[in-house]
Amino acid sequence: MLLADVTTTVAIGAQQSASPSFLWAVLVVAVGMLVWDTIEVGRNDAANLINAVFGARILSRRVAIRVAGVGVILGAVFASSVIDTARKGIFNPTMLTLEQALCVYVSVYIVDTILLYGYSAFGMPVSTTATLVFELLGASFAIQYFDIVHWDKFAKVIQAIAISIILAGVMSFFVQRIVRGAIRDRTSNLNVLLAHGGWIGGGMLAGLCYFLLVKGMKSVSFVKELKSEFIEFYGALVVILVLWGIFAVLIHLLLVVVGKKAARLLFPVLAVLGTLAMAFAFGQNDLANCASPGIAVITLFWAWFQGNADAVTVATEVKVPHALLGACGILLFLGMMTKNAQRVTAAAVRSGSMGDHVKLWAPAAFVRLAQWILEQQRRRPGLAPPPAWTPRGKQMHYDSLRACVITYVSASVIATASSLGYPVSTTYVAFSAIMATGMGDRIFQRGDSALKLGRFLWVVFCWFAAAVIAAVCAGLVCRVIFHLGIAGMLVGIGANLMVRRYLKRRSDTHERHVREAAEERMHPEDFALEEE
């Protein structure tokens, strides 16, 4: 993501010390790591796109992934503003030689691929944006220390990530509490939806249109014309209210004409549209961030290979081919289909489940902390529907109403960040929305509530741990590559593969233990020892 700044180092005369063999080796590694890292992003970040519709059992996991894949690829086409922000970078490349800059780039990708894989293997959601930012910070700091880092830019990116988490959580809690108060568990009751379905569904669609189209696609020509002719003249609030009214009337008419079938499909269809919108916002933001470094380095190498004397201008001003971003979207789709991606989705869904018993794990210390927190709260009746299962025996972790709130709030927050040119975390936003809507539904009142809250606390702790691991490891790997050159890259890749193999064994064992522990909690009679 922010690593694309290495492109601005080519034309500096002092940087010609890098050997051609090293440059060619970096090109090969860059292309390979671009493919690898995009797949890893699919395993983790993108896997969170389908949490809502999969948790509510509206779509099967495979169908949900296909829907999300379409949204991601379309979103990548409109990702220019975030890519432009990424190119300005978080460190000052003019302070580096070409060889140093290439070391920073390679070390970041080597660390990022294994860090994302490790978190995915244990079903832990983590932010690609945050890890890349801290890897870049650690690698560049290891080369030139304090002066090279643009601390103001770094602070703004971290601030944007933090604000997006808080905003998603607060909005999700209040929206969920409001719509739940109106609908309760009667999400397919025609009489209830005739009274409330129009304003709820209309408000969601109106907000989504504004934040996704007007804010998220503000650089598109027809959106610019729309803003100049209508929004700037009438005001954003008036436009949102008009859209709200139009959608509300349309939904009400649909309920009147079609009847019970429309009532049964209203919130599931809205949730699917929300998932598509969320995937679109993801493609604008996160996909652009993970894809732009490799694409930018390829552009940089081509400028050097052509002998361009002004490679800085060529490498920094050339437009990133959207066809390449679309290809990265396909790679991301393949990553979403893997077993580790399924673990990330399942664990995130269960953390906010309305069910009594879930297959989760959290350290005992965090479970005890969660238990203490719950004991301080006054017990109130839960608002979520009672635990339910599909006809095929699959547990429903959310209902369709909550799935709508999760997707619409998440998509709106991410699209707004993209419009401002800030890379934020889809993972953090989506996970925050899941837990906040759960709190709005008071799911932490029964069953494995301490385990679910403990898992939430553990995930948040691991987010901070990921930042430290990313910065330290990227700095160490960068120094190794800088001193050993091609041999250093081979050492880094070899260490990556060894750690990957170790994590796979540990995570598979861990997954079996989690399932056994869950079975024992749900069916203790099957595990009780017979008395002698």
Which one is predicted more confidently, 196 or 228?
A: 196
Residue 147 binned pLDDT confidence (cut-offs 50, 70, 90): confident
Q: Residues 143-152: what's their mean pLDDT?
A: 77
Q: Is the pLDDT of residue 297 over 90?
A: no
Confidence of residue 229 (pLDDT cuts 50, 70, 90): low
Band (215; pLDDT cuts 50, 70, 90): low
Contacts of 74 (CB under 8 A, 6+ apart): 280, 283
- Tell me the C-alpha distance between 242 and 226, whole Å: 14
Say if residues 417 and 285 touch (Cβ distance below 8 Å): yes
Using DSSP's 3-state secondary structure scheme, residue 305 falls into helix
The percentage of the chain sitting over the pLDDT mark of 90, rounded to a whole number, equals 25
φ, ψ (nearest 5 deg) of residue 85: -65, -40
% of the chain with per-residue pLDDT over 70: 78
Residue 361's pLDDT is what?
Answer: 85
Bridge-based pairing of strands 388-389 and 395-396 is antiparallel
As a three-state string, the secondary structure of 340-353 is HHHHHHHHHHHHCC
Higher local confidence (pLDDT), 91 or 44? 44
- Mean pLDDT within 424-435: 87
Q: State mean pLDDT over 285-291.
A: 66
d(CA 23, CA 307) in angstroms, rounded, equals 14
pLDDT of 231 above 70: no
Q: For residue 130, what pLDDT band results from cuts at 50, 70 and 90?
A: confident
pLDDT tier, 170 (very low <50, low <70, confident <90, very high otherwise): very high
Rounded mean pLDDT of the chain?
Answer: 80
Kindly tell me if the per-residue pLDDT of 87 is higher than 70.
Answer: no
Could you tell me the pLDDT band of residue 200, with boundaries at 50, 70 and 90? very high
Closest by CA position to 364, among listed 450, 435, 459: 450
pLDDT of residue 13: 37
Identify which of 425, 466, 480, 464 has the alpha carbon closest to the alpha carbon of residue 106: 480
DSSP result, 64-93: HHHHHHHHHHHHHHT-HHHHHHHHH-SB-G
Q: What pLDDT band is residue 166 in, cutting at 50, 70 and 90? A: very high
Residue range 24-36: average pLDDT?
83
Burial code (b: 16+ CB inside 10 Å, e: under 16) for 72-110 equals bbbbbbbbbbbbbbbbebbbbbebbbbbbbbbbbbbbbb
Average pLDDT estimate for 405-420: 83
* Average pLDDT of the segment spanning 198-214: 83
Q: Which residue has the higher pLDDT, 291 or 176?
A: 176
Look at residue 223 in the predicted model and tell me its pLDDT. 61
Question: Is the predicted pLDDT of residue 327 greater than 90, yes or no?
Answer: no
Where does the pLDDT of residue 93 fall: very low under 50, low under 70, confident under 90, or very high at 90 and above?
low
pLDDT at 268 over 80: yes
Over residues 480-518, the pLDDT tens digits come to 998 888 999 999 999 999 999 999 899 888 888 877 777
Per-residue pLDDT, 224: 62
For residue 459, pLDDT beyond 50: yes
Is 474:139 a contact under the CB 8 Å cutoff? Answer: yes
Q: Would the pLDDT of 20 be above 50?
A: yes
Q: Would you say 467 and 136 are in contact if contact means Cβ atoms under 8 Å apart?
A: no
pLDDT (0 to 100) of residue 319? 62
Contact partners, residue 288, CB within 8 Å, separation at least 6: 1, 76, 79, 82, 83, 86, 325, 423
- Give CA–CA dist 352/55, Å, rounded: 9
pLDDT at 531: 39
Residue 286: is its pLDDT beyond 50?
yes
The burial of 146, by beta-carbon neighbours within 10 Å (0-12 exposed, 13-18 middle, 19 or more buried), is given as exposed
More reliable by pLDDT, 522 or 99: 99
Average pLDDT over residues 27-55: 82
Tell me which of 151 and 168 has the higher pLDDT.
Answer: 168
Alpha carbon distance 450, 446 (integer Å) = 9
The answer to whether residue 44 scores a pLDDT higher than 70 is: yes
Between CA 46 and CA 64 the distance in angstroms is 11
Of 92-96, 417-421, 425-429, 475-479, the one with minimum mean pLDDT is 92-96
pLDDT score for 475: 93
Q: Give me the helix-helix angle, 449-484 and 98-121, nearest 10°.
A: 150
The pLDDT, as a whole number, for residue 386 is: 84
Q: What is the mean pLDDT of residues 271-277?
A: 89
For the residues 81-107, what does the mean pLDDT come to? 67
Q: Are 68 and 58 contacting, i.e. CB atoms less than 8 angstroms apart?
A: no
Separation CA 453–CA 443 (nearest Å): 10
Residues with Cβ < 8 Å from 90, sequence gap 6 or more? 2, 5, 133, 136, 137, 140, 149, 150, 153, 154, 157
Decide if pLDDT at 288 tops 80.
no
Per-residue pLDDT at 502: 93
Tens-digit pLDDT profile for residues 363-403: 999 999 999 998 887 777 878 888 888 777 788 888 899 99
